Chains A and B, each alone.
Chain A
Amino acid sequence: EAGVAQSPRYKIIEKRQSVAFWCNPISGHATLYWYQQILGQGPKLLIQFQNNGVVDDSQLPKDRFSAERLKGVDSTLKIQPAKLEDSAVYLCASSPGGSNQPQHFGDGTRLSIL
């Protein structure tokens, strides 16, 4: 089966600019996750979708980050405006359901803020 697809792989922007990331999960996977992984740390969950509904966005900085999964398939994560501390790898993951199932990660988008 095809894995989780993410684009772009790399993005360099200046602070205060906007950026968007795209994720296409494994076909049939109901649950989609966006993680932020800062260098040297473990992934931190930003938002979790179950189909097109938000299950957990408690760690999403809502003043600048937004995410949507309108049709319950692919998803976009946006940052507006970006800050220097947003430099990180943004990982998308999916799982078949929400309960006790492995998460399959994409290759991520490496974001650098100048």
Chain B
Amino acid sequence: GQQVMQIPQYQHVQEGEDFTTYCNSSTTLSNIQWYKQRPGGHPVFLIQLVKSGEVKKQKRLTFQFGEAKKNSSLHITATQTTDVGTYFCAPRRGSTLGRLYFGRGTQLTVWP
């Protein structure tokens, strides 16, 4: 079945430091979505990557899709306390109707 590894599982940073989480798949993906879940909240959609080597930016967030479409990363520059939460990658393989496979997520804590 689909193997999705997301690392690290936990990350603690000082406010202002950068943060990166990585998502690795054992199989080629058709696309990948990223979600953020605040403590006690529900997942909220951040971005979707479709093309090989794609890079998208949202303010301090940079998302990348690997050339082989087997891995992806989310980088946050100069973290803020509002960035606290769990970041999930959700790859999709095969048909566009195929399910999303959520990883375990990376739980980010930001110290003020």
Contact = CB atoms under 8 A, between A and B. Distances in A.
B10 to A, nearest CB: 11
A35 B102 CA distance: 10
A107 interface: yes
Contacts of A107: 41-42
A105 B43 contact: yes
The residue among A42, A99, A100, A103 with the most chain B CB atoms within 10 A of its own CB is A42
A46 B11 CA distance: 29
Interface residues on B, range: 20 to 34
A42 B105 contact: yes
The residue among B42, B48, B96 with the most chain A CB atoms within 10 A of its own CB is B42
Given A56-B99, A102-B33, A107-B41, 5 more contacts: A35-B102, A56-B98, A91-B42, A98-B96, A103-B43
B31 interface: yes
Interface of A: 35, 40-45, 48, 50, 55-56, 91, 93, 98-100, 102-108
A55 B95 CA distance: 12
Interface string B21-33: 0000000000101
Interface of B: 31, 33, 41-45, 48, 50, 88, 90, 92, 96-100, 102-105
A45 B31 contact: no
Contact of A100 (B42, B50, B99): B50
A106 B42 CA distance: 7
A25 B80 CA distance: 32
Nearest to B46: A102
B92 to A, nearest CB: 8
B104 A42 contact: yes
Contact of B31 (A50, A91, A100): A100
Contact of A102 (B45, B92, B104): B45
